[in-house]
Amino acid sequence: MSRNDELTGYGRHHLQMESYGAAAFCFYRAIKENEFNGNAWNGLILSLSLMRREEEIRTTLARFALQPGLDFDRDLLTFVFMMWQQNPHALAQWLRRVVEFNGIPEKDQLAFTEIAEDAERAYEDLVAKYGAESLHSRGMLTLEEYAARPIQLDWLLEAPVDTIYEQLQWWLEDKDSALSAVRLLCMLPDTRSEKLLRRVCRNVAIEPKVRTHALLALRWLGVRGNAKLYKFNESFVIDLDNPKPELTISVPAVYKPALDRVKLWAAKEKGLVMPEVYEQYASTDEVQLPPEIVEKLDEAEVPPLLQEVSHALIRAAHDEYYPLVPTISGTRQWSAALLMLMKDYAVGIGEEWPYGEPEQDETAKQHRNWLLSASPDFYPSIEEVRKLKES
């Protein structure tokens, strides 16, 4: 087995162990040694996605498409359509490149060419409406511009390691850059990274959310066993093999019933389910709803932007108060709290809110206030978005 194959194998092992930072480091090194290693490209993009590094995913996808001689990888299509759903220009360019890859079936070439043509027409319509310069200023970059942007792994493998750690020490002492340092350390497999992250977990001078992310970064680095977390004037011991409560950068699974009932409310307001059907399921905490109800939730088509608002609020509160996070029961009240905040956001930025007035009982209001306590900039951010839309 070659050294390049070993690096790719280590990356796959770390992926399986949910050590996504260590996996990304291995895959990136494998690509630097062999840019035709499609397995490593796939693994790097998957690792970055599992750490929610959207901008770095876009850059890596662009570099992949611009690398001649690679084999077609169908697994990347989901990421491509997700990452560039708001940028038809880059999407079309990516598809145009991919149809020239090795091993792509003819039927896929035809399908991707057709999608690329549709995306190009969509981009032309946007240019006619807003102008190319305006679109570019809003972040609608070309594929080459995405590829040219640096990612953190570039620096980790190019700079002297002592220089990196010296810089990271400075970042950890700065409130505005501490989180960036933590998220970078998880991709630098070295005993110094583990030591620094453990110190962050115990440093009460660092914001609580960053301490939670340091705990998660230890896990992504490949560290297992116990780790101490200092919060709320207490010391907590967290088992990194099986952290309880759930330690994640995504929305914790315990919120799924509440999020489903947000969609159930939307389905009721749009006439997709009868009020008595809503009542039947709204007051239960069942994790899995019947298939015919799930179908109605999908038909409700709650805008992705509003769903992300609720997800961001949940993640922020979970990071702030971990491990002393509430047990999620009474999902009707939790869904009402989320609906209140989603409505405030939609109305605040001048968008339509077709889902009526959310339920307003005291428990729901308490849940809403708890979520808001970890996002003090929620309403100021709404005002900023509104002003941006009006400008």
- pLDDT digits 0-9 by tens, 62-74: 999 999 889 999 9
* Model pLDDT, residue 286: 87
pLDDT tier for residue 387 given thresholds of 50, 70 and 90: confident
Residue 244 in domain: no
Residue 361 in domain: yes
CATH number at residue 19: 1.25.40
Residue 260 in domain: yes
pLDDT in tens, 114-153: 999 999 999 999 999 999 999 999 899 999 999 999 999 9
Residue 75 and residue 7 share a domain = yes
* Model pLDDT, residue 154: 97
Residue 188 and residue 137 share a domain = no
| Host domain of residue 166 | 159-239
pLDDT in tens, 4-60: 889 999 999 999 999 999 999 999 999 999 999 999 999 999 999 999 999 999 999
Residue 248 in domain: no
Residue 284 in domain: yes
- Whether 389 shows a pLDDT value over 90: the answer reads no
- Whether 237 shows a pLDDT value over 80: the answer reads yes
Residue where one domain finishes, among candidates 239, 270, 295: 239
- Whether 391 shows a pLDDT value over 80: the answer reads no
Residue 184 and residue 224 share a domain = yes
* Model pLDDT, residue 4: 85
Q: What percent of the chain has pLDDT over 90?
A: 90
Q: How many domains does the chain have?
A: 3
Residue 330 and residue 217 share a domain = no
Q: Which of 238, 232, 233, 234 is nearest to 218 (CA)?
A: 238
pLDDT tier for residue 283 given thresholds of 50, 70 and 90: confident
Residue 164 and residue 219 share a domain = yes
Residue where one domain finishes, among candidates 101, 117, 148: 148
Round to whole Å and give the CA distance between 142 and 161.
Answer: 32
49: left (phi over 0), alpha (psi -120 to 50) or beta: alpha
Residue 10 and residue 125 share a domain = yes
Round to whole Å and give the CA distance between 138 and 240.
Answer: 40
Residue 247 in domain: no
Q: CA separation (Å) from 270 to 281, 284, 288, 357, 380?
A: 17, 21, 22, 13, 30
Q: Which of 85, 74, 80 is nearest to 57 (CA)?
A: 80
Residue 66 and residue 33 share a domain = yes
